[in-house]
Structure 1
Amino acid sequence: MPPTQTPDLIQLAPDCHVPVIWKPSNRARRLSLRIDPRRQAVSVTLPSGLSTAQAVQFLKIQKHWITKRLTALQQAPAFLPGRTIPIEGKPHTIVHHPTARSGVWIEENQICVSGAEEFISRRITDFLKKHARQILGQELRAQAQISGLCPTRLDIRDTSSRWGSCSSSGRIMLSWRLVMAPTAVRHYLIAHELAHLRHMNHAPAFWRLVDQLTPHRHHAEAWLKHHGSALLGAH
């Protein structure tokens, strides 16, 4: 079936319907699925020769994993007055100051936003992207100096499924949403991408280097497993 922009509502059990985005692929060798945080749906890559009926059977087997991840997305931080969002792992309550002229600023454990209420989400997003470039840039430079692994460039992007990546040219990409995560998680993910400057794979040598660069690997992986989806769905 051709790709569609509108998710299909697929029944996995009598009391369980989930939105599914089908992505047929001639290059894919196997069926794969991931959660799309922005659309709060399951994205399914369909290799040629595999029917959607077969894919649905696989989704039914993965029902527990799918519903757990989608439920976590519903708990994603919302950039609205009175809500609490993490910044560098610490909770901050959003407070609206409609008549102020300072844009967005942090005041103790509050993130303060001026202007009209309908612009609050966009203003906080823009603020966090700028903050991410500063904080993640500082942390990447510090780890690069210690490790001797120096990227050619840092890009801060808005990604829906990846925290970071490293290209063969040495360019590292990090998601701005990472600035909401605790320090140990940021340290691990930066170390992960720096290690790819030497090993462009996930072979044992790569993981040995990661463990040399950071003591936080296992803690961070566990944290991301439980909280990562919610941060990727923050809006």
Structure 2
Amino acid sequence: MPVLPGPPPVEVHLKRVARARRFSLRVSRLDGKVTLSMPARAREGEALAFLQGHEGWLRETLEAMPDSAVRPVGLGSVIPVEGRDLTLVQGTGRAIRVDGDQLLVPGNPASAGPRVAAWLKALARDRLARASTHYAGLVGRPYSALALRDTRSRWGSCSPDGRLMYSWRLIMAPASVLDYVAAHEVAHLVELNHSPAYWAVVSKIYPGWKVERDWLHSHGQALHRLRFQD
């Protein structure tokens, strides 16, 4: 991953795009990630020259973003787990565990972020599988598989063959929000659309769902701003 030197250095993710005819820079408003898209056959040196030529624009764009755009996670950080704020502190033993309002993370402090991410994903799989099974039982339609991703454009999806996909970051939202997303996707096992008939299914298995949907619209982006990896 190339780094634009300077105060401060900026990490840039290179992305080769088969149909691209030119270079382009993009800064995610969600987490501040910088992506340089380039033609498939272009040389990395050409990409770096393009990056340097647009350094002024890039730094101005990054400076204009709120300081909270990206929040690295490590010991001392406060993160939500099922809607409850927990402070990461050094733990003992092997397993991560909750103790009051603290999340005890044993091992090397430098690896705390990735370890917590792995712990959250395992917890998310358990909770989402339980919720999906519950709502699938209510609609009388089984799902065929369940997968977790770190998607930014959607919180979940349901394929025509009954495969459910969720963002693992839902485990940081309040439990009722996670349940709503599970109900939302399971309802697609009955209606693979967003017709009135579909929303009738959602309302039947999860009444009052608009409260949880509004929470995601207001607070969902903050969950994506947490960076667990270096």
TM-score, normalised by the number of residues in structure 1:
0.68
Q: Aligned residue for 1:25?
A: none
Q: Aligned residue for 1:52?
A: none
Q: CA deviation at 1:216?
A: 3.5
Aligned-partner Cα distance in 2 for 1:114–1:85: 17
Aligned-partner Cα distance in 2 for 1:174–1:187: 12
SS of the residue corresponding to residue 189 of structure 2 reads coil
SS of the residue corresponding to residue 196 of structure 1 reads helix
Aligned-partner Cα distance in 1 for 2:32–2:189: 30
Q: Aligned residue for 2:188?
A: 196
Aligned-partner Cα distance in 2 for 1:230–1:133: 21
CA pair 168-92 structure 1, distance change in 2 beyond 3 A:
same
1:94 aligns with 2:88: yes
TM-score, normalised by the number of residues in structure 2:
0.70
Moved over 3 A (4+): 1-6, 35-38, 75-78
CA pair 227-40 structure 1, distance change in 2 beyond 3 A:
farther
Root-mean-square deviation over aligned CA pairs: 2.6
Q: Aligned residue for 1:124?
A: 116
1:83 aligns with 2:83: no
Q: CA deviation at 1:229?
A: 0.6
Aligned-partner Cα distance in 2 for 1:156–1:182: 18
Count the aligned residue pairs.
181
SS of the residue corresponding to residue 115 of structure 1 reads coil
Q: Aligned residue for 1:154?
A: 146
SS of the residue corresponding to residue 218 of structure 1 reads helix
Aligned-partner Cα distance in 2 for 1:5–1:161: 20
Aligned-partner Cα distance in 1 for 2:181–2:117: 21
Q: CA deviation at 1:77?
A: 5.5
Tell whether the 8 Å contact from 1:87 to 1:181 is kept in structure 2 after alignment: yes
CA pair 106-143 structure 1, distance change in 2 beyond 3 A:
same
Q: CA deviation at 1:144?
A: 1.6
Aligned-partner Cα distance in 2 for 1:105–1:137: 21
Q: Which amino acid aligns with 1:87?
A: V
Q: CA deviation at 1:197?
A: 1.0
Task: Give 1:112-191 correspondences, 5 Å limit.
Answer: 112-191=104-183
Deviates more, 1:78-87 or 1:193-202: 78-87
Tell whether the 8 Å contact from 1:180 to 1:231 is kept in structure 2 after alignment: yes
Tell whether the 8 Å contact from 1:188 to 1:216 is kept in structure 2 after alignment: no
Aligned-partner Cα distance in 2 for 1:210–1:84: 33
Structure 1 residue aligned with 2:224, among 214, 232, 235? 232
Q: Which amino acid aligns with 2:129?
A: G
